[in-house]
Chain A
Amino acid sequence: MEFPDGLRYTQTHEWAKRTGNRVRVGITEYAQHEISDVVFVELPKSNLAAMKAKAIAVVESVKAAFDIYAPVSGTVVDTNKSLESDPSLVNKDPYGRGWFYEIEMSDSTEWGSLLTAEQYQAQCTTTH
């Protein structure tokens, strides 16, 4: 199970990668493993106002639907259109081609409260 160092994490199993004021978000390998085969991803609309810890997207497997939350507040500026034609990217490459959306942060101090790779890994091992 991978927990890449350059990323930050949420307790709800999203990862976040920061470039300047932009944050790219996806779900972790742990999450995609729990969900199993992703059949559909409902991405947020562009320009949507994202709020930290509020649901912003939905991942569907055959038998269940899962809320995906925003790690930080801001505006949705980009979404991963490839997921429309190939939702399996979330399973195959959760940290790379399986990314979900990007947020332009409105409050960069929120970044600090996200979990580090060690903290997130520790959380996953205790719940297991």
Chain B
Amino acid sequence: MHYHPLTADDRREMLEAIGVKHFEDLLKGIPSSIRARDLKVPEALSEMELRRELEATGKKNQGSKSVLSFLGGGSYEHFIPAAVPQLMGRNEFYTAYTPYQPEASQGTLQAIFEYQSLIAELTGLDVSNASHYDGATSLAEAGLLALRHTGRRKLLVARSVHPDYRQVLRTYLEAADFTLEEFGFEKNGKFKRKEFQELLNEEIGGVVFQTPNFLGTVEDLDGVAREIHALGAPLILAANPLSLGVLRSPAEWGADMAVGEGQVLGLPTGFGGPYLGYFAVTRELMRRIPGRLAGMTMDQEGKRAFVLTLQAREQHIRRERASSNICTNEGLCALGACIYLTLLGKEGIREVGELNLDRAYYLREKISSLKGYRVEKDSPVFNEFVVFSEKPFSEIQSRLIPQGILAGIDLSRYYPEMKGAFLVCATETKSREDLECFVKALSQC
């Protein structure tokens, strides 16, 4: 097997050095009743044959490489500069281990430090960890952190937060015997302020908003942080990091924690993973943040050095007293985000945000003038928005797929009261022709 170097000669010499006659002698301790008979997996394929098969399997997918996709909802098609996958593909990065030996991992550690710095800049908060599994799990851990920090048992969550995120949050909270309560949203996607205020009390250990929310609406959180802080609870904001070049930052909204999905920072949609959860907090919460942290220090000769720090919070040291069990995170994905943000730079992050706004508003305007469709014009959006159609969405979708268009996400699947509503996303990847083609196809439905 071309990954396994041992030759027959090697094996013979090694068995001799070990002092056994047969390899089987080394397995004496294993009860014969549980020795495996035959591994029921297919026989090996040569690389050439395997590649042919994989290409054929790939053809059974219709991703944005071959169709025009207007899908968003927590996973987004964005322009990825060629340098990002190339640099991520450096062997010394992607086949490196966790940087527990700092002297042999300065590349990885400095990249993590720069990633942490970039996330801190984007969110405006003080401390970022080295990554979490994805936006949903970083939100779940933020929720747990809030409840442990305040000593309370209930979290208040906007219903306009991504349905998968709320489901993950519920799973994690229930595991720790905590509860959650939701407040709703108006027709235009904005959160119901009165309902939020009515549910906010001293039992609440944290409040979660998402902006832009799952319906694409950019939330106006004026006064919200003040109200939450007055009751001694933190504000947790799930924010799209790519929008933070133009949209008001979590720090500017008074958030104590910012979490969200970093897939938008240079990673493909890839059928849902691996993605990248970012997690940033104020300095006050620094010692409670889960996950790894890379810090700057000096070595014995006074040279700048990077090292994993505050490790005494983590599972391998605290064991049953750890606040999170996370070990492996999304290191390579964080590296990708770091490279992407460094390439975009100060101007690029603003420009990409403006382009997303431009494409989404243009498309929404065009769709609003079509018969049989309606949009909520007074809903401020970033790169996705709700379209209400007279026809059921399944009909529209099945008409458009043969035309090579994925029209959007059926919202009634998540919010049963939103019949005929679907979520349309238009990022900087869409040209005028793309958008006009889509509008034409919709009009013919």
Contacts and interface: CB of A to CB of B under 8 A. Distances in A.
Interface of A: 39-40, 42, 58, 60-65, 67
**Main SS of the interface on chain A?**
strand
B321 interface: yes
B287 A63 contact: no
B287 A65 contact: no
Contacts of A60: 312
B230 interface: no
A37 to B, nearest CB: 12
Contact of A39 (B312, B318, B321): B312
B147 to A, nearest CB: 15
Contacts of B287: 40, 42
B317 interface: yes
A67 B311 CA distance: 16
Interface string B134-151: 000000000000000000
Contacts of A42: 287
Nearest to B287: A40
B289 to A, nearest CB: 13
Nearest to B307: A62
Contact of B318 (A40, A62, A65): A65
Contacts of A67: 321
A64 B322 CA distance: 12
A81 B318 CA distance: 24
A62 B321 CA distance: 16
**A40, A60, A63, A64, most chain B CB atoms within 10 A:** A60
20 contacts: A39-B312, A40-B287, A40-B310, A40-B312, A42-B287, A58-B321, A60-B312, A61-B312, A62-B311, A62-B312, A63-B311, A63-B312, A63-B317, A64-B312, A64-B317, A65-B312, A65-B317, A65-B318, A65-B321, A67-B321
A61 B311 CA distance: 9
B89 to A, nearest CB: 34
**B310, B311, B312, most chain A CB atoms within 10 A:** B312
Interface string B301-319: 0000000001110000110
Nearest to A64: B317
A39 B310 CA distance: 9
Contacts of B318: 65
A66 to B, nearest CB: 9
Contacts of A62: 311-312
Nearest to B314: A65
Cβ-closest 8 pairs across A and B: A60-B312, A65-B312, A65-B318, A65-B317, A64-B317, A64-B312, A40-B287, A63-B317
Nearest to B321: A65
Interface in B319-371: 321
A67 B318 CA distance: 10
**A61, A62, A67, most chain B CB atoms within 10 A:** A62
A65 B317 CA distance: 7
Contacts of B310: 40
A63 B100 CA distance: 12
A61 B317 CA distance: 10
A34 to B, nearest CB: 15
A40 B311 CA distance: 11
A60 B313 CA distance: 9
B297 to A, nearest CB: 11
Nearest to A61: B312
A40 B310 CA distance: 9
Interface string B394-418: 0000000000000000000000000
Nearest to B312: A60
B150 to A, nearest CB: 11
A63 B312 CA distance: 6
Contacts of B312: 39-40, 60-65
A115 B310 CA distance: 34
A12 B217 CA distance: 56
A111 B295 CA distance: 43
Nearest to B316: A63
Interface in B102-140: none
B100 to A, nearest CB: 11
A85 to B, nearest CB: 13
Interface in B262-305: 287
A40 B309 CA distance: 12
Contacts of B311: 62-63
A64 B321 CA distance: 12
A40 B288 CA distance: 12
Given A40-B312, A62-B312, A64-B317, 13 more contacts: A39-B312, A40-B287, A40-B310, A42-B287, A60-B312, A61-B312, A62-B311, A63-B311, A63-B312, A63-B317, A64-B312, A65-B321, A67-B321
